[in-house]
Amino acid sequence: MEVADPRITLDGTMRSQGRPALLLWNACWNALQPLRPAFSRQATTFMWFATVVVGMMVRSELRGVTSIVRALSLLPNHYHPLRRTFHSTAIKLGRLTVLWAQAVLRIFTNPVRVNGRLVLVGDGIKVAKRGKKMPAVKLLHQQSNCSTKPEYIMGHSLQAVALLVNAASSVFAVPLAVRIHEGLVWSNRDQRTLLDKMLGLIQALTITDPFYFVADTYYAAGKMVKGLLKGGNHLVSRVKSNAVAWLPAEPQNGPRTRGRPKRYGKKIKLKSLLSDVGSMDVVVSPVYGERGVKIRVRVRDLLWRPVGQLVRFVAIVHPTRGRIVLITTDLSLGAMDVMRIYGLRFKIEHTFKQAAHQIGLFAYHFWMMNMKPLRYRNGNQYLHRTSDHYRDQVHGKIHAYHVFMQAGAIAQGLLQYLAAEFPDQVWASFGSWLKTIRPGIPPSEFVVQNVMREAFPDFLASCTKTHTLAKFIVERQLADSREAFRLAS
């Protein structure tokens, strides 16, 4: 393991005369090194990928590959090698995703656990794209109460999975994987839905620890539940307002009659669990960010026909947020834990916001020159009758999109890692000003990104001879920039 500065010890601690900024860069490099097996050619592909991640961590503008070149002051002729990195077949995307998930579980010392299980959150996001030669772009409908969002957009439909980790008194949703799951039909026999693809994405992470998967109402479906239960995991979600369940059938008295024994008893409309508010239990809300708020709760274990077994329903009446019914397939999970877990689902929405506006995770725009131009309001692109060469080109372009987003997810995860594990060093190196720094709240991605950007010249100037990544970047920089970085350090 390489050490960026002799004053920084191998175990990640810093001696009294060390510089916090160099410790942060050393911690990032140590977190990136276990990803090497996902690259066939270490000297080229892995180092270029690490350069991309560093560029996303320090850039101040979100303009695709060119912003990375400018942020790192690379020579202009290195734009094309950087762009080709995303298209490289030497990057094994599946292996990279697995290694990143393993790295997250290793570097974050305090993931959220409930009943000994990890907590994963998943959701979909629609990203506007108007490129006429970008595969998988289609007309998408946005369901939102926000009047500023158009009802229909042209863009990519993605699904993402993140891991919840504790950071001081807050929680981060660390992105593990993001994939495009709509827009392309490779075979007319492919009947997979978004639920199938989300299950495939979760399984591709190969997380061996048991976990709860937290998602919104769309994922409260029998297919999702069965897929999770098959791996020994459970779902925590919200059910629709018109959902129903059944009481178990009463035991049959007397001799057995012909036919299968009755399994389902009386039908129960789940919204009826919210009707008699006076008979509900009164508890203090365990939802993240609430203090002393009293809510009413009712818990019922009922048969749910999509899975054919007992599940737990938690009916909640909140004084300001209204009424909802939550569902979990784990009958041992208490109502307070169900509410607390589902209350953290919004963390992935916050991760999406930071990814879009701070990291630039969705700021890719690689075009496929040989592609038939798309028309506005186009739907899915059917490829089962196209040539093998054309399909390979589309595969390569989608691979480039996924590699770009995976690099952004790693960059964002590293910023969250520094905020969660090294908050004192981050604040000690933060040279800007904030109106309020609340105690117990970790630095945001914005704060950490500013720290890493300010410390970058010092990192390059001090570690060029001892650090592989610093040497790789310096050798490809403009001569004037190298001198400017040296003076800045």
Least confident span in 5-9, 324-328, 417-421: 5-9
**7 domain residue, yes or no:** no
Which residue did the predictor score with more confidence, 318 or 15? 318
The whole-angstrom separation of Cα 329 and Cα 225 is: 8
Q: pLDDT for 211-270, tens place per residue? A: 999 999 999 999 999 999 999 999 999 999 899 999 998 887 777 777 788 888 899 999
Question: In the structure, what pLDDT confidence band is assigned to residue 482 with cuts at 50, 70 and 90?
Answer: low
Q: Are residues 231 and 163 in the same domain?
A: no
Predicted confidence band of residue 6 (pLDDT cuts 50, 70, 90): very low
User: Of 89, 23, 96, 110, whose CA–CA distance to 53 is shortest?
Assistant: 96
Those residues with Cβ within 8 angstroms of residue 410's Cβ, 6 or more apart along the chain or in another chain: 32, 35, 53, 100
Contacts of 305 (CB under 8 A, 6+ apart): 222, 244, 245, 246, 264
Q: What is the pLDDT of residue 3?
A: 37
Q: Say whether pLDDT at 7 is over 50.
A: no
Task: State the pairing for strand pair 294-304/309-318.
Answer: antiparallel
Q: At residue 145, what is the residue type? A: N
- In-domain check, residue 274: yes
> Measuring CA to CA, how many Å separate 343 from each of 29, 73, 202, 314, 321?
34, 43, 21, 13, 12
- Same-domain check for residues 194 and 46: yes
**H helix runs in 73-127, sequence order:** 79-87, 93-107
| Angle, CA of 200, 204 and 207, to the nearest 5° | 120
Residue entry with tokens 């690259």: 39
One domain, residues 457 and 377: yes
Same domain, 50 and 27: yes
The residue among 313, 343, 373 that closes a domain is: 343
For residues 180 and 197, the answer to whether their CB atoms sit within 8 Å is no
Please report whether residue 105 resides in a domain: yes
Return the amino acid letter for 160. Answer: A
The pLDDT > 70 percentage for the chain reads 93
The helix or strand, by DSSP H or E, that contains position 281, with its residue range, turns out to be: strand 281-284
Give strand ranges (E) for 86-232: 113-114, 117-128, 138-141, 152-167, 170-180, 184-185, 211-214
Judge whether 38 and 95 are in contact, CB under 8 Å.
Answer: yes
Q: Mean of the per-residue pLDDT values for the chain?
A: 88
Q: Are residues 393 and 435 in the same domain?
A: yes
| Alpha carbon distances (Å) from 49 to 57, 165, 407, 426 | 13, 25, 8, 25
Q: Is the pLDDT of residue 319 over 50?
A: yes
Least confident stretch, 13-17, 115-119, 387-391: 13-17
134 in Cβ contact with 367 (< 8 Å): yes
pLDDT at 198: 96
Q: Are 210 and 241 within one domain? A: no
As a whole number, mean pLDDT of residues 414-432 equals 89
Q: Please identify, among 318, 343, 368, the residue that sits at the C-terminal boundary of a domain.
A: 343
pLDDT for 463 equals 80
Which residue, 213, 222, 225, is CA-closest to 342?
213
Instruction: Output the pLDDT for position 434.
Output: 73
Domain end residue (candidates: 343, 373, 400): 343
Q: Let me know whether 33 and 92 are in one domain.
A: yes
pLDDT, residue 34, reads 94
Chain centroid offset of residue 174 CA: 6
d(CA 244, CA 236): 17
| pLDDT at 8 exceeding the cut of 60 | no
Q: What is the DSSP letter of 37?
A: G
Look at the chain and report how many structural domains it folds into.
Answer: 2
Alpha-carbon gap, residue 249 to 182, rounded angstroms: 41
CA distances from residue 91 to 77, 95, 98, 201, 206 in whole angstroms, order as listed: 22, 9, 13, 18, 19
Cα–Cα distance measured from residue 366 to residue 403, given in angstroms and rounded to the nearest whole number: 12
Q: What is the pLDDT of residue 487?
A: 53
What is the per-residue pLDDT for 156? 94
- Contacts of residue 414, defined as CB under 8 A and 6 or more positions apart, other chains included, come to 28, 31, 32, 53, 57
Q: List, for residues 144-201, the tens digit of each pLDDT value.
A: 777 778 888 999 999 999 999 999 889 999 999 999 999 999 988 888 999 999 999 9
Same domain, 83 and 184: yes
pLDDT tens per residue, range 55-89:
999 999 988 899 999 999 999 999 998 999 999 99
373 Cβ contact list (under 8 Å, min separation 6): 132, 133
The verdict on 336 and 355 lying in the same domain is: no
> Which class for 480: exposed (0-12), middle (13-18), buried (19 or more C-beta within 10 A)?
exposed
Structure confidence at residue 130 (pLDDT): 82
| 132-136, 458-462, 481-485: least confident range | 481-485
Distance CA 359, CA 181 (A): 22
Are 12 and 27 in contact by the 8 Å Cβ rule? The answer is yes
155 and 225 fall within a common domain = no
In a domain, 9, yes or no: no
Distance of CA 1 to the CA centre of its chain: 28
Report the alpha-carbon distance of residue 476 to residue 81 in Å, rounded.
Answer: 11
Number of residues that make up the chain: 489
* Res. 20 pLDDT band, cuts 50 70 90: confident
pLDDT beyond 80 at 42:
no
Amino acid making up residue 305: R
Residue 1 lies in a domain: no
What pLDDT does 488 receive? Answer: 55
Residue 489's pLDDT is 54
Residues 305 and 373 grouped into a single domain: no
Least confident residue range of 189-198, 389-398, 464-473:
464-473
Please report whether residue 5 resides in a domain.
Answer: no
Domain of 184, in residue numbers = 20-215+347-488
Q: 438: burial class by Cβ within 10 Å (0-12, 13-18, 19+)?
A: exposed
Same domain, 211 and 222: no
In a domain, 2, yes or no: no
Rounded mean pLDDT, 358-381: 90
> What is the tens place of the pLDDT at every residue in 47-61?
999 999 999 999 999
* 383 found inside a domain: yes
